[in-house]
């Protein structure tokens, strides 16, 4: 299952507003770019999150009867088999993008048998959804840890938020580092899930559409997608344009849920 695993996400800063919902979410671009140390942390989060994403695809395929990825060693949280399959997308390209912009950009994939997907289109659709679902699970884990920290007084609501920076702490040291790591996990996995659920090829959302089709319709849909490679290029260009529009309200909603009683706009 090939899809863009992460994109360079331009920083946006959202500001704390009144407790009442604002008329509409507003955002202000900022030119802040992460320093090299922050970029390395983003890459570590990217590598782990992408490994989990692809392992989830491989695990779901195995559960559905396709052992292709399993036999390739990809039902694993060890990043090495995933890197061996896509060394450029998981190491070279994201590290280059971190060095140039501070943000990781890359891709990964898990192999599957197209004959199996044609025979069991709904199983293949669940396999596609397993990747974004794993990222949502990581978001929920980070969410729970942040909420526990906020309840205990360790974390608080920051004056303003942006990608990766959704938690404030008093003082420096390991607590501040942990807060940034949690914010990076929360933001990166929310972005991965949102991007990959856009129903455009070659993203996972497009492969989930057979869940809503009959068997004959699913077969025609799959043959159409696989027979038109240009659709993947068009789909990625369109998803690239759509992502900021889609992610902005998702990010604001998720962060507002982190701290009940405050609203960012």
Instruction: Please state, in angstroms and rounded to a whole number, the distance separating the CA atoms of residues 242 and 239.
Output: 5
pLDDT tens digits, 50-59: 999 999 999 9
- For residues 206 and 199, the answer to whether their CB atoms sit within 8 Å is yes
What mean pLDDT is predicted for residues 251-261?
92
Mean pLDDT of 158-166: 92
Which pLDDT score is estimated for 23? 36
pLDDT tens digit string along 115-133? 999 999 999 999 999 999 9
CA distance 142 to 148: 10
DSSP H/E element including 50: helix 36-64
Q: Does residue 64 surpass a pLDDT of 70?
A: yes
- pLDDT score, position 25: 34
Cα radius of gyration (the chain): 19
| Predicted pLDDT of residue 21 | 34
Residue 107 has pLDDT above 70, yes or no: yes
The tens digit of pLDDT for each residue in 163-219 reads 999 999 977 788 888 999 999 999 999 999 999 999 999 999 999 999 999 999 999
């Amino acid at each position: 299952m090939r899809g863009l695993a992460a994109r360079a996400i331009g920083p946006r800063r959202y500001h704390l507003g009144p407790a009442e919902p604002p008329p509409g979410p507003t955002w202000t671009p900022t030119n802040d770019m992460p320093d090299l140390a922050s970029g390395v942390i983003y890459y570590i989060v990217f590598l782990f999150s992408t490994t989990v994403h692809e392992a989830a695809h491989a695990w779901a395929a195995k559960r559905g009867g396709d052992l292709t990825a399993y036999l390739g060693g990809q039902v694993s949280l060890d990043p090495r088999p995933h890197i061996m399959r896509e060394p450029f997308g998981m190491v070279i390209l994201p590290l280059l993008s971190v060095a140039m912009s501070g943000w990781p950009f890359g891709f990964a994939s898990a192999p599957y048998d197209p004959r199996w997907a044609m025979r069991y289109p709904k199983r293949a659709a669940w396999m596609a959804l397993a990747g974004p679902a794993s990222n949502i699970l990581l978001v929920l884990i980070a969410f729970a840890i942040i909420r526990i920290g906020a309840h205990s007084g360790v974390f608080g609501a920051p004056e303003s938020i942006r990608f990766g920076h959704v938690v404030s702490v008093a003082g420096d040291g390991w607590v501040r580092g942990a807060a940034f790591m949690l914010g990076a996990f929360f933001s990166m996995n929310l972005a991965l899930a949102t991007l990959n659920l856009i129903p455009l090829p070659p993203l996972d959302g497009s492969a989930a559409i057979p869940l809503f089709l009959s068997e004959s319709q699913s077969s025609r849909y799959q043959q159409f997608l696989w027979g038109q490679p240009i659709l993947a290029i068009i789909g990625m260009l369109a998803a690239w344009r759509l992502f900021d529009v889609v992610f902005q309200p998702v990010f604001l909603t998720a962060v507002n849920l982190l701290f009940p009683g405050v609203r960012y706009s």
